Structure 1
Amino acid sequence: MLLAASLLLKGLAIPLLTRIAWLDFTTQKISNQNVLLLLCLGLGSLQLLSMQSGSWWDMGLSGLACLLLFVALFPFWVLRKVGAGDIKLMAVVPLLIGGSGLLVFSVLLLGFALATALIVKNPFMLPAGAFRLYVQHLDRKGVVPFGVPISLAAICTIGFVIYITLMPHPGPAI
């Protein structure tokens, strides 16, 4: 029952991450309210999993990753290279996906961030005229909606974690 509740909390984060990605893409803002909701969903999910397994290792690893990401990215906000909302979102994601999903999240984030940067720097690769004009506007302003790749990587990682959790694991070969 605890596992089902934990997976439900992770699943509820997916529409919220979608909303965050859309709002960051259209307004270049990530609200504290949305980040706090993700924080609550992540902490609740991790606590349920920790109670079920009897081990607090995953929660500790996620908390450590959260703290390290915030401390490592904070200077970039001071230098105005990254928005504060992006840093807060990035710091909350490890609590949402759990320590076991950090590697998958990192690889996906790298891929989505490179794709986002490539699209913003080369908007002529895009087919739709209005979308191309919007991306050119972002390029002129010098902003990249980094919440979009963070959210996409988190959504894919949550999906992966849920899939791995629900799939039956084969026993040892005899």
Structure 2
Amino acid sequence: MSLLLAASLLLKALAVPLLARVAWVDFTTQKISNRDVLLLLCLGLGSLQLFSVQAGSWWDMGLSAIAGLILFIALFPFWVLRKVGAGDVKLIAVTPFLIGGSDLVVFSLLLLVFAIATAAVVKNPFLLPAGMFRHYVQHMDRKGVVPFGVPISAAAICTIVLQMYQALMVATSSGILQQLN
């Protein structure tokens, strides 16, 4: 595994706890801070830059930029109509930079699964075991608030973990890790 690819994976690995924090804060306060979104953007841009230099192609970075712009433009009217929070719009627009353009399909499928699961939990809080947790989710249902940052973060984390696993499998199967030791 080249140093550029290892550094790119390290930046993605640093994004995982930040995404977990974003999910927790969004779940508890229904807020996603601009600081967290900007930090995720920087980690994503750095990772994509390193990967693009290593691969010798800027296709992934261009695809990520186009996908981020399309997602922002598509969700902006929903923010204007107060159907989605501004933090959710910014987070979903930054996510293609974080995961890269080549894995947007995987991210989209995982986002669909996690969004459906989140909606099911919010609409059916009796599926949850803890009374306090059930009460909190019922409160969110009455207010009409769904923390969409949670499924976005969960899908991004799963996609990043899958990317890291694939990179390690390629590195170990090609014998590169054995040569480094």
Point out where structure 1 has 5 or more consecutive residues left out of the alignment.
none
Q: What secondary structure, in the 3-state scheme, does the structure 2 residue paired with 1:151 have?
A: helix
Matched, 1:159 2:155: no
Structure 2 distance, partners of 1:86, 1:26, is: 14
Q: What is residue 127 of structure 1 aligned with on the other side?
A: 129
Q: Which runs of 4+ in 1 moved over 6 A?
A: none
Paired AA for residue 61 in structure 2:
M
Moved more, 157-166 or 86-95: 157-166
Q: What is residue 77 of structure 1 aligned with on the other side?
A: 79
Matched, 1:59 2:61: yes
The aligned runs of 1:23-62 (5 Å cut-off) are 23-62=25-64
Q: What secondary structure, in the 3-state scheme, does the structure 2 residue paired with 1:55 have?
A: coil
Paired AA for residue 141 in structure 1:
K
Q: What is residue 101 of structure 1 aligned with on the other side?
A: 103
Point out where structure 2 has 5 or more consecutive residues left out of the alignment.
175-181
Q: What secondary structure, in the 3-state scheme, does the structure 2 residue paired with 1:19 have?
A: helix
Structure 2 distance, partners of 1:3, 1:104, is: 20
Deviations 1:19-59 (A, max 9, x none): 00000000000000000000000000000001111100000
Number of residue pairs aligned between Structure 1 and Structure 2? 171
Paired AA for residue 17 in structure 1:
L
Deviations 1:81-114 (A, max 9, x none): 0000000000000000001110110000000000
The TM-score with structure 1 as length reference comes to: 0.96
Q: What is the CA distance between 1:166 and its match in structure 2?
A: 1.6
Q: What secondary structure, in the 3-state scheme, does the structure 2 residue paired with 1:168 have?
A: helix
Q: What is residue 22 of structure 2 aligned with on the other side?
A: 20
In percent, how many aligned pairs have the same letter?
75
Q: What is residue 177 of structure 2 aligned with on the other side?
A: none
Q: What secondary structure, in the 3-state scheme, does the structure 1 residue paired with 2:23 have?
A: helix
Structure 2 distance, partners of 1:99, 1:161, is: 12
Paired AA for residue 31 in structure 2:
K
Q: What is the CA distance between 1:155 and its match in structure 2?
A: 0.1
Structure 2 distance, partners of 1:142, 1:62, is: 32
